[in-house]
Amino acid sequence: MTRFSQPQENTNWQLADIVNELRSARLSWRERSGQASLSGQKELPSKSAVGEITESLRAILFPMRLGPDDLRHESEDYFVGHTLDAVLNALLIQVRLALGFSRSEGDDAEPGDSLNAQAVTLVRQFATVLPAIRRRLDSDILAAYHGDPSARSVDEVLLCFPGVNAIIHHRLAHYFYLAGVPLLARIIAEKAHGETGIDIHPGAQIDDGFFIDHGTGVVIGETAIIGKRVRLYQAVTLGAKRFVTEESGILQKGQPRHPIIEDDVVIYAGATLLGRITIGKGSSIGGNVWLTRSVKPGSNIRQANIQSDSHEFGSGI
């Protein structure tokens, strides 16, 4: 909690009245949202704790680049093992909170022992997939290096490119989304969103070799499916065309509503693709295109006022 200096002058803020009104507002909200029977303890994951865990996981995945400044190759394994042990224990606490919160929202609440066992299993399984996540991230980093002529090295890409930072967070968040702790996944995803301006929902399915160049303003929705070696530029939106509602007017959750992007597609800056459409393999979608229909493989889609698809030195930025 932030500490503030005490004012010198004598002030009277009527704090008792304000505190009472705030308590009344909280209790009213908890009553309406079905949270009136809280245990009295904080029952949500901590954003700050999850943020620290995520930074440590980045260092574990890339110790000589994102780890401590004084790390040496001969102590690399020790650092990874020591840090991973601490991270998994910290992660267990946050997973347990997230699972408990998910159960409290539904009718299938489980006893504490069962919840703890589920959290331990989930964290243990997460640890085992870290090598696969690292290998997938290697393909993303190489895609960024080969896809941007300004990149001088893969180290520059890893340290500096916001799209790489975003996909590291997404690969981690996606695991927790699939594992049934979407709140934890969303906290990780929003950390990257705040740092990069790239908004990837943790539910989006993204295959190997993914590259976002520049990145600011990119939005990728929950049910988007992205194939191998796909490249996006800044301000691209893979969004929903419309939202299906139930009879009560409440939005239906989890319905497929975002685009499917097949392998080897390039989508240039400012393009907006909406709805459950399919962009065929090897297609190129030009800048500022608004697209709500599927296109066949190998398509070259441009704005109507652009007559030629040929560009000197290639098409793009």
pLDDT digits (tens, 9 = 90+) for 52-95: 999 999 999 999 999 999 999 999 999 999 999 999 999 999 99
Model pLDDT for residues 13-22, shown as the tens digit of each residue:
889 999 999 9
pLDDT value of residue 307: 45
Is residue 8 scored above 80 in pLDDT?
Answer: no
- Contacts of residue 78, defined as CB under 8 A and 6 or more positions apart, other chains included, come to none
pLDDT value of residue 280: 98
User: Average of pLDDT values for 201-207?
Assistant: 98
State which of 137, 163, 197 marks the end of a domain.
197
Domain that holds residue 223: 217-309
- What's 305's domain CATH number? 2.160.10.10
pLDDT value of residue 38: 55
φ and ψ at 196, to 5 degrees? -120, -20
Model pLDDT for residues 27-39, shown as the tens digit of each residue:
998 888 766 555 5
State which of 197, 232, 260 marks the end of a domain.
197
φ and ψ at 23, to 5 degrees? -60, -40
Tokens of 62: 């890339």
pLDDT value of residue 10: 67
Residue 16 lies in a domain: no
pLDDT value of residue 107: 44
Judge contact between 53 and 91, C-beta under 8 A.
yes
Residues 157 and 245 in one domain: no
Q: Give the number of other CB atoms < 10 A from CB of residue 180.
A: 14
Tokens of 197: 């301006």
d(CA 212, CA 249): 36
Residues 64 and 188 in one domain: yes
Residue 210 lies in a domain: no
Say how many Å lie between the first and final Cα of the chain, rounded.
45
- Contacts of residue 189, defined as CB under 8 A and 6 or more positions apart, other chains included, come to 169, 170, 173, 199, 200, 201, 202
- What's 135's domain CATH number? 1.10.3130.10
- Contacts of residue 295, defined as CB under 8 A and 6 or more positions apart, other chains included, come to 277, 278, 279, 280, 283, 285, 301
Comparing 179 with 313, the larger pLDDT belongs to 179
pLDDT value of residue 313: 47
Is residue 195 scored above 60 in pLDDT?
Answer: yes
Residues 137 and 264 in one domain: no
CA distances from 170 to 87, 123, 225, 308 (A): 18, 17, 13, 37
**Residue 234's closest CA among 171, 188, 166, 280?**
166
- Number of domain units in the chain: 2
Across the chain, mean pLDDT equals 89
Count the alpha carbons within 13 Å of 130 in the hemisphere toward its beta carbon: 19
Residue 34 lies in a domain: no
Residues 227 and 270 in one domain: yes
